[in-house]
A and B are shown apart, each in its own frame.
Chain A
Amino acid sequence: MRFLQPTTWAEALEARATHPDAVAIAGGTDVMVGINFGRLRPPLLLDLTRVGELQEWSVDGGDVRLGAGVPYARVITELGDRLPGLAMASRTIGSPQIRNRGTVGGNLATASPAGDAHPALLAADAEVEVASVRGTRRIPVTDFYTGVKRSALAPDELIAAVRIRPPAGPQQYSKIGTRNAMVIAVAAFGLALHPDRGVVGTGIGSAAPTPRRATAAEEFAAEELSGLWESRGELPAATAVRFGELVATAAAPIDDVRGTAAYRVHALSVMARRALTWAWAEYRTAKES
């Protein structure tokens, strides 16, 4: 095994291009588990923690551009107002020690269906900025996940950043675990109201081969709420219930040690119903204040 430690983004991309079989490591929260238990023996580890460009976030063209190496702890403390859904998701991840190291970039690179950041990124219409020596491109996060732990990242590419438009409306994030901390999601749900566009964004996690949106639920909500955005009227209870049901229909879960498929479907319907109710209540209150 070799260990490469580029200090600039250009060097990192060069190394990636030269060593397509290298495994990139940042917080190490996935890679080191694989190595410690003998499941991962890459010929080369490409350490990205010295690449300064990855460790910062900025506001760029109205978007938050979140460097792929920014740990969750900083998302919580520095971006709670700008990226509330992602910050809520970040707070549920692992332990404080994990949140001090783990990154959204790493979550995306692993592309596990159980990755906690994904539902929040989906709901917020995030874009993934990836780069190689060939250049930089942006991938809508919806198109990023291509299979179980597979993504649209090409072998010579690295994740540079995630770009997220700060919300025009409330966001929610809920996650089911059978313990009150340090738990992998049995099912997770992200929700973002986009009143500026009359759109409701969703993301579901741990309930399909990839993180995915609940498109039918989004369309239903957009239609049901179309007359309410302006008036900020009360959300009919039946709308929330139906929204939950439609979110659940988007899931294609399996039975595994963490939960049954039937429970995941049920839990998604409850989480989605509650999340929409909370978000709408917040949207209504925001007007009054």
Chain B
Amino acid sequence: MSAPARTPAGAPGSLTGPGSGGVGDDAARPDGTLKVRGEFAYGSDLWMEDMLWGVTLRSPHPYARIRSIDVGPALAVPGVKAVLTSDDVPGEKVYGLELADQPVLAVDVVRYQGEPVALVAADHPETARAAAARIVVDYEVWEPVTDAITALGHPHWNQVHDGTARVTELSRESAHLHPEGNLVRHLKVRTGDPAPTADVVVVNTYEVGMQDQAFLGPESGLAVPAEDGGVELYVATQWLHVDQRQICSALSLPPEQVRLTLAGVGGAFGGREDLSMHVHACLLALRTGKPVKMSYNREESFFGHVHRHPATMRYEHGATRDGDLVYVKAEIYFDGGAYASSTPAVVGNGGTMGIGPYVVPNVHVDCYGAYTNNPPCGAMRGFGSVQTAFAYESQMDALAAELGMDPVELRCRNAMEQGSKAITGQVIDSPAPVVELLRRLEAMPLPGAAPDDLRHMPGGVSNTTHGEGVRRGIGYAVSYKNVAFSEGFDDYSTARVRLEVVGGEPTVTVHTAAAEVGQGLVTVEQQIARTELGVDRVVVAPKDTQVGSAGSTSASRQTYVTGGAVKAACEAVRGRVLERAAATTGRPVGELRLFDGAVVADGLELPLAELLGDDAVEETLEWRHRPTEAIDPETGQGFAHVQYAFSAHRAVVDVDTELGLVKVVEMACTQDVGKAINPQAVVGQIQGGTAQGLGLAVMEEILIKDGRVQNPSFTDYLIPTILDMPPMRIEILEYADPHAPYGLRGVGEAPNISSGPAVLAAIRQATGLPLTRVPVRPEHLTGT
């Protein structure tokens, strides 16, 4: 394997860190010291002496045909080294996570505002930007399709209700965005009576706006041409090997010639599952023969990654007078935007998880993902479940109100438990403590009245109320989320673990390709190795494609799947070490264990330094969770998911009901994590996930008008500040999942799902308004 000619400043090294601590301990991050010193290199920090800067020219139109592109004026700019269009893509011109439908650079048609059209490399970013602005693209502008229901030709709800239902006519030939039509996926769940009736029925429609991952570290990376004609790419991403597959296809190079290394990642939350600048930087590097750095600014970042699908949902819940759910019917539309990205899987989750952690005998769900000319939507933390949770939890509150029941009581009455059947027919075969999560929340003390201080009022120091119009509300929500990849996906991770003695000290090196995005997987890898091998010094090798795939840092899966792989590889290493010790000492393997750098047994302590000498014991293996299966396309039945995570939130809010301003006073969360591998990191995931859910409930939305993004900046796309996040109470339950390593459950997504609906419920209680759309804006609360 050919090494790069040079290594950039900021190329990642091995992490050792100062820490200690095994499974269950608050071990310190091995990258923590680098991060607080400002020495941890993110993608945008990579640097080489003679590197060029790459920039992207993007379409200003949501939908248009490209008549011609003239790159001549850009090439004439001094300092410009290359200008590329789709003609310069040597391999497949389209890529995609699940369906290859997205052009590397626009081919004839642009389908969303911001679609990459051309690339420029120059010696200064200002030069590259100025040159890109001189590329002449002649567009024939088309009318964009901007509504998912219209795109599918389905009748809108209001037409259904006023009796004028008709299939929407798409007026233009161009309204078929892709040759096969605008439907990406339609998922059906059908159980029980197809025409159920109930004493009490509530019907509502809900909308969830388009949320952005808003990770702080913009898309960035550095491509370095290699002597073998290949390329080294240092990039901030979530799944190196799926990137590699797509890059190879576009570059028409074999995997050996496209080597990826994970650069420092400044947050991900799903937004780095799809390619951004990956292929572009490689194309420019290969064309110019020089290293090329690409680093989006915040505005470009809003156009450079997929967002959370906006959703429109109609739910009908039927129950007995006593509050037993009889049936749920749901129609869910996800707007996938211009390209498929992970829409099929989002539809899968949205549909199969779409009624919440409740037992319902009769279920009828239709979940659709559609192409439109809006920005492409794909993965974001919570993945299809965030949207539906707003709907099903709002329905539970509406039903409780209709029944005159306490909303928590109604939830507990219908809650799943171990042994219950999910709507896929799958039996929940590990703990499902939904009732306990809710009851524990109820038992937590409530916060007192807000102190008489502006900083505690809705509006804060903006001085809009001194208490006038302020009403308090309390809301509850519970959610569940499938962990890891579902529906028969071959979901595995690869770990290479090496035990050797370095400088007299037993040292374990863990090498996986699993992306550390901030969550602390590198810490977990160390903790598992320490526990399994009884060695304190654990080195985490850089994440790269020199080892097999770890799968994506998504779906709350890495601690489970890569954690499982590291554990299994450690066990294999341990087996070989103990066999060797058994051979040396004559003691049966069964009596031996690894502890504190030695093989120990009754009356025996054999230091590893002595046992191994200069030998290294290394094992590389792939590890899989138990398989799932595809669901039946007509009924949605099947063993779709490997594990579920459960969390619940209670939100307390103060609302200035006259001005429509919300202050979240406290968030409380209970979550079952099976086993907290690193309790401090688990709490961090719950707090961070809660903040993102809160953000969607009250402020976060990419606003789209006629296919155009109205607020691509942190000035107008607002995420919570420290003044918007209240103090939290957290209780963690640890009911082991017998099928998972250490009994653990994926942690990251569940709290992101239940927090927003709890905030919405609390605002609803404070205001008495139905509130069927998030984010809730002051206009919704004031009728303006």
Q: Could you list which residues of chain A lie within 8 angstroms of chain B, going by C-beta atoms?
A: 36-38, 88, 91-92, 172-184, 186, 257-260, 262-263, 265-267, 270-271, 274, 278
Contacts and interface: CB of A to CB of B under 8 A. Distances in A.
B779 A181 contact: no
Contacts of B299: 37
B715 A260 contact: no
Contacts of B466: 274, 278
Contacts of B462: 92, 174-177, 180
Interface stretch (B66-74, B191-199, B581-589, B718-726): B718-726
Interface string B720-741: 1111100000000000000000
Contact of A38 (B129, B460, B464, B715): B129
B463 A92 contact: yes
Contact of B699 (A172, A175, A178, A265): A178
Given A260-B779, A274-B465, A178 B659 contact: no
B724 A180 contact: yes
B661 interface: yes
Nearest to B299: A37
B464 A176 contact: yes
Given A181-B723, A257-B710, A257-B716, 11 more contacts: A36-B297, A37-B299, A88-B463, A179-B721, A179-B723, A181-B722, A182-B721, A186-B778, A262-B779, A267-B782, A274-B465
Contacts of B723: 179-181
Contact of B718 (A183, A259, A262, A274): A183
Q: What is the size category of the interface that chain B forms with chain A?
A: 35 or more
B711 interface: yes
B297 A263 contact: no
Given A36-B297, A179-B724, A257-B703, A267 B129 contact: no
21 contacts: A37-B297, A91-B461, A92-B461, A92-B462, A175-B462, A175-B463, A176-B459, A176-B778, A178-B718, A179-B721, A179-B723, A180-B459, A180-B663, A180-B723, A181-B722, A183-B718, A258-B716, A259-B779, A262-B784, A266-B784, A267-B778
B234 to A, nearest CB: 24
Given A91-B461, A278-B466, A176 B718 contact: no
Interface in B289-303: 297, 299
A283 B325 CA distance: 59
Contact of A184 (B716, B721, B782): B716
Contacts of A178: 661, 698-699, 718, 777-778
A266 B720 CA distance: 25
B660 interface: yes
A220 to B, nearest CB: 21
Contacts, number: 91
A260 B784 contact: yes
B227 interface: no
A180 B460 contact: yes
A37 B302 CA distance: 13
Nearest to B664: A180
B604 to A, nearest CB: 61
B463 A174 contact: yes
A191 to B, nearest CB: 11
Contact of B659 (A176, A179, A260): A176
Contacts of A267: 659, 778, 782
A240 B462 CA distance: 20
Contacts of B459: 174-177, 180
A38 B710 CA distance: 18
B468 interface: yes
Contacts of B720: 179
Interface of B: 129, 133, 297, 299, 459-466, 468-469, 658-661, 663, 698-699, 703, 710-711, 715-716, 718, 720-724, 777-779, 782, 784
B721 A180 contact: yes
A183 B718 CA distance: 8
B782 A263 contact: yes
A259 B468 CA distance: 22
A184 B297 contact: no
A33 B489 CA distance: 45
**Complex A-B, nearest 10 residue pairs according to Cβ-Cβ distance, in ascending order:** A263-B784, A180-B723, A262-B784, A180-B460, A175-B462, A181-B723, A181-B721, A257-B710, A263-B779, A179-B718
Contacts of A91: 461
A174 B779 contact: no
A257 B711 contact: yes
A179 B775 CA distance: 12
Given A186-B778, A263-B784, A270-B659, A172 B463 contact: yes
A181 B724 contact: yes
A278 to B, nearest CB: 7
A259 B721 CA distance: 20
A175 B461 CA distance: 9
Contacts of B777: 178, 259
A183 B65 CA distance: 38
Of residues B129, B459, B463, B661, which shows the largest number of chain A Cβ atoms within 10 Å of its Cβ? B463
Contacts of B715: 184
Contacts of A278: 466
A37 B303 CA distance: 14
A31 B716 CA distance: 18
Contacts of A183: 718
Given A92-B461, A257-B703, A278-B466, A266 B661 contact: no
A89 to B, nearest CB: 9
A92 B703 CA distance: 25
B463 A266 contact: no
Given A180-B724, A184-B715, A257-B703, A271 B464 contact: yes
A259 B711 contact: no
A271 B659 CA distance: 8
A266 B656 CA distance: 13
Contacts of A274: 464-466, 468
A186 B715 CA distance: 12
A86 B731 CA distance: 45
B778 A259 contact: yes
Contacts of A175: 459, 462-464
A37 B469 CA distance: 41
Of residues B465, B663, B718, which shows the largest number of chain A Cβ atoms within 10 Å of its Cβ? B718
Nearest to A92: B462
Contacts of A181: 460-461, 721-724
Of residues A37, A175, A180, A181, which shows the largest number of chain B Cβ atoms within 10 Å of its Cβ? A180
Contact of B464 (A174, A260, A262): A174
A176 B777 CA distance: 12
A173 B463 CA distance: 7
Of residues B297, B462, B698, B724, which shows the largest number of chain A Cβ atoms within 10 Å of its Cβ? B462
Contacts of B703: 257
Nearest to B298: A37
A183 B716 CA distance: 8
A271 B718 CA distance: 23
A47 B98 CA distance: 52
Nearest to B709: A257
B722 to A, nearest CB: 8
Contacts of A176: 459, 462, 464, 659, 661, 778
A271 B699 CA distance: 21
B375 to A, nearest CB: 15
B779 A179 contact: no
B778 A263 contact: yes
Contacts of A88: 463
Nearest to B717: A257
A261 to B, nearest CB: 9
Contacts of A184: 715-716
A180 B654 CA distance: 13
Contacts of A260: 779, 784
